[in-house]
């Protein structure tokens, strides 16, 4: 179990983590989400005792990380897969880490085999691809067979094959009954692997919930409608209690009536309908809702005219500056 308790971390004038509290419990893959610069990596470093919190405390299995004896048996961490000495072989790299925690050579060989690196075990890591380095990092994290795993952006920069491998691997580890905390700035990635989500922005907790709950909590469910007689149909729907928004391209976004009801209504009045699309907010939308206010460095979408009102039914971070 990982507990983060009222942790504050300041770097000079910058507050990277701002009163963050959450608990990661065993038996789940927990996604640790937030935009770039939200404080995910700093939080992980605080948990591992690499950085000291300005105030508050992070504990692993009820202990400060600093006080753990042979910590690799309790927590396996992968912060930066490229943090390797280029001149050392994969095997020597793992052996040196293993030995520091009293782990034998056999376990090193097993981990090399598990991660598919046995063929390159005696090669210097200088020539390794990012994918191979990620595998090596995971092999190192698993050396102590820890019940808790913590991985920082493990799929960043990987090719499709590498991403598939990591995803599959994480699921297998969770199925094994381990606690897995995986950070990412990509909601879509987490949607496929995480059961629970901890979302942070600007160092503050935005959500600590299950993936399913996060989706259903989003209120954005509507029907997109296109019709040559849109104005007439809009009036009819409003009379029946629906809320209608006109989108930029002339389509209507309707809430309060479902698609069959709208279709029936249009048919009964002989109004042509060219498109009728029920829209459910994706996890991505729910995430953008949460973090939209907390993105540090926002890109301005050149297609959004200055002062144009953003489309309320389909919020996008690009539209936000106009708010």
Partner 1 sequence: MTAQVPVAVRARDVLFSEWIKLRSLRSTYWTLLVAVATPIGLSALVAVTLANAPGHGPPVDPLLPGVLSLEYAVLAVGVLGVLTFSAEFSTGLIRTTFTAVPCRRAVLAAKAAVLGAVTLAAGEVVAFVSFALVQAVLSGQHLGVPLSHPGVPGAVLADGLLLFVVAVMGLGLGAIVRHTAGGIAALVGLILLPAILALLRPPWGARFGRFTLVEAARQVTALHPATNLFAPAWSLLILLAWPALTLLTAALLITRRDI
Q: Using the rule CB under 8 A, is 90 a contact of partner 1?
A: no
Q: Using the rule CB under 8 A, is 205 a contact of partner 1?
A: no
Strand partners, 204: 201
* CA distance linking residue 257 with residue 279, whole number of Å: 12
Q: Using the rule CB under 8 A, is 71 a contact of partner 1?
A: yes
Mind giving me the DSSP string for 141-204? HHTT--SEEEEESTTTT--HHHHHHHHHHHHHHHHTT-EEEEEES-HHHHHHH-SEEEEEETTE
* CA distance linking residue 265 with residue 259, whole number of Å: 10
Name the one range near partner 1 by CB under 8 A: 78-86, 179-187, 238-246, 299-307: 78-86
Q: Using the rule CB under 8 A, is 315 a contact of partner 1?
A: no
**Residue 144 beta carbon to partner 1: minimum distance, rounded to whole angstroms:** 9
Count CA atoms closer than 13 A to 96's CA, side-chain side. Answer: 7
Q: Using the rule CB under 8 A, is 104 a contact of partner 1?
A: no
Residue among 19, 26, 27, 102 that touches partner 1 (CB under 8 A)? 102
Based on its alpha-carbon atoms, the radius of gyration of the chain, rounded to whole angstroms, reads 25
Q: Using the rule CB under 8 A, is 126 a contact of partner 1?
A: no
**Residue 41 beta carbon to partner 1: minimum distance, rounded to whole angstroms:** 11
What does each C-alpha distance from 284 to 21, 190, 278, 303, 317 come to in angstroms? Answer: 24, 10, 17, 21, 11
Residue among 24, 29, 31, 51 that touches partner 1 (CB under 8 A)? 51
User: How many binding residues for partner 1 (CB under 8 A)?
Assistant: 38
The token pair at 251 is 């389509």
Residue among 20, 72, 120, 207 that touches partner 1 (CB under 8 A)? 72
Residue among 21, 101, 109, 282 that touches partner 1 (CB under 8 A)? 101
Residues that bind partner 1 (CB under 8 A): 45, 48-52, 65-75, 77, 79-80, 82-89, 92-93, 95-97, 99-102, 140
């Amino acid at each position: 179990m990982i507990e983060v308790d009222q942790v504050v971390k300041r770097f000079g004038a910058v507050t990277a983590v701002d009163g963050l509290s959450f608990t990661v419990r065993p038996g789940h893959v927990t996604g640790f989400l937030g935009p770039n610069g939200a404080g995910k990596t700093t939080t992980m470093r605080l948990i591992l005792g690499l950085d000291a919190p300005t105030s508050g405390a992070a504990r692993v299995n009820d202990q400060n990380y600093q006080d753990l004896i042979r910590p690799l048996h309790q927590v396996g961490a992968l912060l930066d897969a490229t943090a390797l000495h280029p001149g050392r072989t994969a095997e020597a790299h793992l052996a040196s880490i293993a030995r520091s925690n009293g782990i034998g050579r056999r376990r090193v060989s097993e981990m090399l085999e598990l991660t598919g690196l046995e063929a390159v075990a005696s090669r210097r890591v200088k020539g390794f691809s990012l994918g191979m380095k990620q595998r090596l990092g995971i092999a190192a994290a698993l050396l102590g067979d820890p019940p808790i795993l913590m991985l920082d952006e493990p799929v960043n920069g990987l090719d499709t094959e590498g991403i598939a491998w990591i995803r599959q691997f994480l699921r297998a580890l969770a199925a094994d009954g381990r606690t897995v905390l995986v950070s990412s700035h990509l909601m879509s990635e987490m949607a496929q692997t995480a059961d629970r989500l901890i979302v942070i922005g600007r160092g503050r907790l935005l959500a600590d919930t299950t993936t399913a709950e996060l989706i259903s909590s989003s209120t954005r469910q509507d029907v997109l409608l296109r019709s040559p007689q849109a104005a007439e149909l809009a009036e009819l729907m409003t009379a029946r209690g629906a809320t209608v928004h006109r989108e930029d391209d002339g389509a209507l976004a309707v809430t309060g009536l479902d698609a069959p009801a709208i279709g029936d209504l249009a048919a009964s009045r002989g109004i042509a309908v060219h498109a009728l699309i029920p829209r459910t907010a994706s996890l991505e939308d729910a995430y953008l809702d949460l973090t939209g206010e907390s993105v540090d460095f926002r890109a301005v979408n050149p297609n959004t005219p200055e002062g144009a009102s953003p489309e309320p039914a389909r919020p996008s971070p690009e539209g936000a500056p106009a708010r």
